[in-house]
Structure 1
């Protein structure tokens, strides 16, 4: 028990240290922000300088020395094939100003309304103050010079401090654990207690009720690496849902591409696939009645879909505007098809152990009916995507619409995927604020759309394959090699589909569309990460999975609770709109839910659907 308390105490200390990160960073960054606000948020000459205290913004000042009016146009490079939009205009001999975002690199042009006078590209930095002078150069050529008048602010300082504290917490935790082991070994034998990892249970009393020396129980049958993977994923999901400090690379990508937040949801589906294989294997050994198993699948499917609708109803005033598709709704449908398929072929799980021919492929050959059934899902998604005619849109279009391709397909957001949702569900029942709206000015589009259900179901089947590898092979080396090989092969196929580029491939990596390359990429990372955790935790026993195994056993409670209690005290309160304030709030909320999971774990409260 002492060791268990030590593990818990170490985790709490580490969490407190991490949560202090943004507060410490705020001490360094807040004075600069206050100085900037006081210096440039005032009337200066004929121009009111914009307030540069807004997060991820810089002030751009235009001084027009020409005798004609000019307009500054621009666009971020993230917006593929988009036209430049007007940002600010300056009359002859006058000045103007505008706030611009600093998340992406910019392409600028100064125009007189007829032609471009000059073009330039620039990466702007947070709270920077940039001065653009438009003047006449030699031979009456237009000269555009940009000078940074104020030292820019590093938006990444809170992240650097956070990473330093995390690294320090890991070092302190491991040093403390080693010191505890050394202290235990130095005690006389009659005072020693056995070291018990946090993932194992221990007994402190003998059969007659008297106190006895602690002894380690038999190893737990739970796959500790999978628990760690699930716990890490749910904490990441809460963290990114709270804004992840406002950093673009930690949030969802605008359209094509892959950021940290894009990995969380598919990893959960992948983990669910591994868990389905484990549960079905257990059911086959217990010879549970088929009627009971079918009832459990249907009940869980309905509950997940219902909870998804309940979460979506928060903030909606009318059922005619209720978003029908949800994260848990996608879980429910994918779970139903995969669990039903596994249940139908459940007997093959036991026969796979007795395969003598092609024994090195016993995780594939006996399950060929399941493999064929699973392939129908991505095949159907591809057929709908590239063959379904969409009114006013080119066949096979997968772009964001809006400004994309110079507004050529303005109302074609998502191509066939968006069209199916709008046709079946209606415009009012899908997500109204997709990530592409900020850059591409696209129309409503649901990232949990109907067509994406097909590929997400295939992702769960890939998770089932990982579960088969872990439970059909006895040798650790065989398991690790197969997981890594599967991860590499899936990654190469995904790379071939997207052309190893963000926008130029046949099927880009796209979380909004749940494209096939996106599914294979996330499954590839899932396979390799699971192999790494399995090697470190279950094979080498270097790490017990603490502190991530605590939220693992109550992940559904943490997700639903964090969605319902979002923006409520004590999980959230008003903070300055800065990276340090946003990062602190995200860490605070994540830490609060982690503490709740620890309390539930020690109270032996385990909730599952």
Structure 2
């Protein structure tokens, strides 16, 4: 990574589709997503969480389950806008794909290094991860975005979701208990978990060991989520008036929410760990609604005075969004240090750095869930100070 002009969990340089103006709404939405990730990833006590700040145990969804698909949606939007600018500048298609692949591989390597830092054990290091899946989605989406037209991209989305459904529901696979089943959608029993054990045994999520929420097969519907963001980017880059763009973001978002709920009832339940088609569509619906709101407030309003006021209100999110990948990686390193480093107290007992920092908040006369949330809010504030300092000095990290 190097100091540059932008940093995202997606190919950066996503300027506005018109007038060469940067889209504040995309930066703010990215910043909202990274702030939400920091909030849900860094509580004071994992045993005491408000329900929306924890992932759904299996089927279903919570606020926390919005974060990852929001990142992939932003990846898709950013790819479209970034490649559109370069195409106008006469960029060669093969060169564009290679640049995207380079960025994808860089993100994958960063994710692997973050996993390695957790225990410095190559033999037992977890291979899948959030950044690894984001990198794989960029890697696979790059040629589709560069070479395929709108109809082909829609066909890819439908094919990925349909193909994944057929594989998961019809292809028998031995579960973690060794029993051969088809259509099993329980932890460790599905086809995806079997493939992960077959190819990555010993390198899966430590809390399950027999399956991984960022497993290989689930990358297929996650790629569809990314391509849905690509379609949103195509619409954003079009010539329609901002009010019309905003209206269709909401219409498409509500339609995706309804379709996702229906598929969750008749096909496969909404499930993040399996990244079911219902989950991919449902979360894309929320992404469209959230982003549509940011777009109208920050970029779509006809009043310049309104946009200026909104920019001031949403500036903290824009600051977060300008260095998203750096903040993602730094927060992971800080969290690892917090759970690894030991502090010796005056009574001679040893606690982790995280426990030591959390103790004064834990001692407050408030509910344990509120104390845990307060610690997370303090962590988000600390990370914002870092982001603000980098923004003020114009230090933007780009891969």
TM over 0.5, shorter chain: yes
In structure 2, list runs of 5 or more residues that go unmatched. 1-17, 302-306, 342-352
Q: State yes or no: 1:594 paired with 2:384.
A: yes
Task: Find the counterpart in structure 1 of residue 350 from structure 2.
Answer: none
Task: Find the counterpart in structure 2 of residue 26 from structure 1.
Answer: none
Q: State yes or no: 1:431 paired with 2:214.
A: no
1:516-595 mapped onto 2 (5 Å cutoff): 516-540=277-301, 541=307, 543-544=310-311, 545-566=314-335, 568=337, 572=354, 573-575=357-359, 576=362, 578-595=368-385
Q: State yes or no: 1:382 paired with 2:182.
A: no
Compute the displacement of 1:315 (Å): 2.9
Task: Find the counterpart in structure 1 of residue 181 from structure 2.
Answer: 394
For the 8 Å contact 2:243–2:296, the answer to whether it is kept is no
SS at 1:566's partner residue? helix
Structure number with greater CO (CA < 8 Å, separation at least 6) is 2
Compute the displacement of 1:278 (Å): 0.3
Q: In structure 2, how many angstroms separate the alpha carbons of the residues matched to 1:574 and 1:219?
A: 48
Compute the displacement of 1:579 (Å): 2.5
> Highest CA radius of gyration, 1 or 2?
1
More helix per residue? 2
In structure 1, list runs of 5 or more residues that go unmatched. 1-217, 346-365, 401-412, 435-442, 500-504
For the 8 Å contact 1:305–1:328, the answer to whether it is kept is yes
TM-score with structure 1 setting the length: 0.54
Q: In structure 2, how many angstroms separate the alpha carbons of the residues matched to 1:467 and 1:497?
A: 25
Q: State yes or no: 1:269 paired with 2:72.
A: yes
Task: Find the counterpart in structure 1 of residue 143 from structure 2.
Answer: 340
For the 8 Å contact 1:270–1:463, the answer to whether it is kept is yes
Q: In structure 2, how many angstroms separate the alpha carbons of the residues matched to 1:563 and 1:516?
A: 29
1:21-420 mapped onto 2 (5 Å cutoff): 221-243=21-43, 246-345=49-148, 367-391=150-174, 392-400=179-187, 413-420=188-195
User: RMSD in angstroms over aligned alpha carbons?
Assistant: 2.2
Compute the displacement of 1:567 (Å): 5.2
Q: In structure 1, how many angstroms separate the alpha carbons of the residues matched to 2:239 and 2:258?
A: 25
Compute the displacement of 1:387 (Å): 1.7
**In the alignment, which of 193, 218, 226 is matched to residue 452 of structure 1?**
218
Compute the displacement of 1:394 (Å): 3.0
Compute the displacement of 1:369 (Å): 1.8
Compute the displacement of 1:432 (Å): 2.3
Aligned length: 346
Q: In structure 2, how many angstroms separate the alpha carbons of the residues matched to 1:558 and 1:449?
A: 24
Q: Deviations over 1:320-375 (max 9, x none)?
A: 21111111110011011212211124xxxxxxxxxxxxxxxxxxxx6112222333
